[in-house]
Chain A
Amino acid sequence: MQNPIAPLLDSANRIILGKQHQIRLALCCLLARGHLLIEDIPGVGKTTLAHTLAKLLGLNYQRIQFTSDILPSDIIGASIFDPEDRSFKFHPGPIFNQMILADEINRSTPKAQSALLEAMEEQQVTVEGKTYRLPSPFFVIATQNPAHQIGTFPLPESQLDRFLMRIELGYPDRNAERELLSGQSRYHLIENLKTELPPEPLKNIQQQVNTVHVSSALLDYMQNIITFTREFPDYPCGLSPRAGLSLLNAAKAWAFMDSRDAVLPEDVQAVLPAVAGHRLRSASQDSAAVVAPILERVNVL
Chain B
Amino acid sequence: MPVDIEKNILLFLLISVGLIALPHIYHIPASTFGFFALLLAWRFIGIWKPSCLPGKFLLFLLTVGGLVLLYSQHQGLFGRDAGTRLFMTALALKLLEIKQERDLYLIVFLAFIVAASQFLYEQSIAMAGYILFVCCVLLGTLVAINSRRQNTLNALKTAAVILAQALPLAIVLFVFFPRVEAPRWMLFEDKSRAKTGLSDSMEPGSISDLSFSDELVFRVRFQGQIPPNRLRYWRGPVFSVTDGKRWTAAKHYTYTAAAEPDFSEPAYRYTLLLEPQNNNWVFALEMAGDYPPQLRMNSEYLLTRSGNPDKRAEYPITSYPSYRTGTLEAHKLRTNTQLPGPTSQKITSLVKRLGGFDKRPEQFVDRVLQHFNQENFSYTLTPPLMENNPIETFLFETRSGFCSHYAAAFTYLMRVANIPARVVTGYHGGVLNPVGNFLEIRQADAHAWTEVWLKNRGWVRVDPTAAVAPERIEQNVNIEQQIASRNISFFSADSDLARQLDWLKQARQLWSSVDYNWQRWVINYHSANQTQFLASLGIESLKQMLFWLIGLGALFTAILSWLLLSRKEKTADKVLRCYRRFCARLGKAGLKRKAGEGPIDFAKRSKEAYPDQAAAIDEITGLFIKLRYQKESSQADLNRLSERVDRLKIRRR
Interface residues of A (CB under 8 A from B): 213, 215, 217-218, 261-266, 269, 294-301
Contact = CB atoms under 8 A, between A and B. Distances in A.
Contacts of B573: 217
Interface in B599-653: 599-601, 625, 628-631
B601 A266 contact: yes
A269 B599 CA distance: 12
Contacts of A218: 629
Contacts of A266: 598-601
A261 B601 CA distance: 18
Interface stretch (B178-186, B515-523, B589-597): B589-597
A262 B629 contact: yes
Contact of B596 (A215, A263, A299): A299
A301 B600 CA distance: 12
B599 A297 contact: no
Contacts of B629: 213, 215, 217-218, 262-264
The 3 closest A-B pairs by CB, nearest first: A265-B598, A213-B631, A262-B630
A295 B594 CA distance: 10
B631 to A, nearest CB: 4
Contact of B594 (A215, A217, A296): A296
B324 interface: no
Contacts of B601: 266
A261 B628 CA distance: 13
Nearest to B576: A301
A300 B600 CA distance: 11
A218 B598 CA distance: 11
Contacts of B628: 215, 217
10 contacts: A263-B629, A264-B600, A264-B625, A266-B599, A266-B601, A269-B596, A296-B596, A297-B595, A299-B595, A301-B580
Contacts of A301: 576, 579-580
A294 B596 CA distance: 8
B631 A300 contact: no
Contact of B597 (A213, A217, A264, A300): A300
A298 B595 contact: yes
Nearest to A293: B596
Interface residues of B, number: 17
Given A264-B625, A266-B600, A296 B595 contact: yes
A192 to B, nearest CB: 37
B630 A215 contact: yes
Nearest to A255: B629
A264 B603 CA distance: 13
B621 to A, nearest CB: 10
Contact of B598 (A262, A297, A300): A300
A298 B599 CA distance: 14
A299 B579 CA distance: 14
Contact of B599 (A264, A295, A299): A264
Given A301-B576, A301-B580, A261 B598 contact: no
Contacts of A269: 596, 598
A261 B597 CA distance: 21
Contacts of A296: 594-596
Contacts, number: 51
Contacts of B580: 301
Nearest to B575: A217
A262 B631 CA distance: 7
Interface string B383-413: 0000000000000000000000000000000
Interface string B100-128: 00000000000000000000000000000
A70 to B, nearest CB: 43
Contacts of B630: 213, 215, 261-262
Interface string B571-582: 001001001100
A263 B598 CA distance: 12
Given A264-B625, A266-B599, 15 more contacts: A213-B629, A217-B576, A264-B598, A264-B600, A264-B629, A266-B598, A266-B601, A269-B598, A294-B596, A296-B595, A296-B596, A297-B595, A299-B595, A299-B596, A300-B596
Name which of A215, A218, A298 has the most chain B CB atoms within 10 A of its CB. A215
A206 B596 CA distance: 29
Contacts of A215: 628-631
A213 B580 CA distance: 23
Nearest to B632: A213
A300 B602 CA distance: 11
Nearest to B604: A266
B638 to A, nearest CB: 14
Nearest to A265: B598
A298 B596 contact: yes
Contacts of B579: 301
B589 to A, nearest CB: 19
A297 B596 CA distance: 6
Name which of B595, B597, B629 has the most chain A CB atoms within 10 A of its CB. B629
Name which of A298, A300, A301 has the most chain B CB atoms within 10 A of its CB. A301
Nearest to B631: A213
A300 B573 CA distance: 14
A266 B630 CA distance: 14
Name which of A294, A297, A299 has the most chain B CB atoms within 10 A of its CB. A299
A262 B628 CA distance: 10
Interface string B328-342: 000000000000000
B632 to A, nearest CB: 9
Contacts of B598: 264-266, 269, 300
B626 to A, nearest CB: 8
A257 to B, nearest CB: 15
B564 to A, nearest CB: 18
A299 B595 CA distance: 4
Contacts of A261: 630-631
Contacts of B595: 296-300
A295 B596 contact: yes
A262 B596 CA distance: 19
A298 B594 CA distance: 10
A296 B593 CA distance: 11
Contacts of A213: 629-631
Name which of B597, B598, B600, B628 has the most chain A CB atoms within 10 A of its CB. B598
Interface string B4-34: 0000000000000000000000000000000
Nearest to B626: A262
B498 to A, nearest CB: 67
A173 to B, nearest CB: 23
Contacts of A297: 595-596
Contacts of A265: 598-599
B524 to A, nearest CB: 55
A113 to B, nearest CB: 36
Contacts of B576: 217, 301
Nearest to B583: A301
Interface in B556-592: 573, 576, 579-580
B534 to A, nearest CB: 48
B601 to A, nearest CB: 6
A224 to B, nearest CB: 10
